[in-house]
Amino acid sequence: MKKGFTLIEIMVVIVIMGVLAAVGVPKLFGQIAKAKASEVPTAAGTYIHLQEAYQNEKTIIGSWKNIGYNAPGTNGVSKEFQYSGCLEDDAPFTGEELTVIGWKATNRNTLNQCSGNNGTWAVQVSAIAERNLSYTNLVNSVDCGMLTVNWAVSSISDECASTPEPQQQTNNDPEPQQQQPEQQPEEQTQSSPSQNDVCSDGVTPCSNEGQCNRGNSGKDKDKSHCSQSNHSSCCFCC
């Protein structure tokens, strides 16, 4: 007589399989995602190696073309990542520190918690001195950083270089002051009398003293300017 499994035994086996699946499947997918992301550090290491060799010879930061770097995939696009370089031409060292995003990778598909097209890995190249470059591996999020080891989580600028903008040269010479138009003296409403001016009687000539006596008596006499506009009011002479 053959014996079979009891219902309890079968249920116990199903529970055990469920626990193993709940624990093992995420780890399995996590390992798969890390395996896919392993091409990022490899590609970045190749770039740094070629950049270092080129810089030791040329004393400059070179473009991908000039250093001979080819990103994984076709035209910088692999199955999981898209690669790009910032520099289209070499960046010469001018004596001032220069920081460049020389290499960048973006995931095309979701890898674990790192959603597609949101994860960015970059190699920041800093020219400290001639023939002296430093490299920093950056990743833009913690979730994406869990796929790679020893990549610093930091915001990654889209700009190629972060150098201080040249300051506008200031001219120490004082600005030329605009010449104010010379104010023309206001025309005197009262012009000085001339030798040809005469009093209101039409006979007595005006004097050059610029004054005349107004009034018929000594107390009423009031000295005022005698001009062409008012000498007609003078009683005796200007």
Instruction: Encode pLDDT of 3-54 as tens digits.
Output: 777 888 888 888 888 887 777 666 666 788 899 999 999 999 999 999 999 9
Q: Measure the CA–CA gap between 111 and 144, rounded to whole angstroms.
A: 8
Residue 120 has pLDDT above 60, yes or no: yes
Identify residue 47 by its one-letter amino acid code. Y
Instruction: Encode pLDDT of 130-187 as tens digits.
Output: 878 999 999 999 999 999 989 999 998 766 654 434 334 434 444 445 555 555 544 4
Instruction: Among 104, 128, 153, identify where a domain stops.
Output: 153
Residue 229 has pLDDT above 60, yes or no: no
Instruction: Among 95, 127, 153, identify where a domain stops.
Output: 153
Long-range Cβ pairs for the range 162-169 (8 Å, 24+): 162/99, 163/96, 163/97, 163/98, 163/99, 164/96
Considering the entire predicted model, what is its pTM?
Answer: 0.58
**Residue 132 DSSP SS3:** strand
Mean pLDDT calculated for residue range 206-220: 47
* Domains identified in the chain, total number: 2
Instruction: Report if residue 41 sits inside a domain.
Output: yes
Instruction: Among 99, 130, 153, identify where a domain stops.
Output: 153
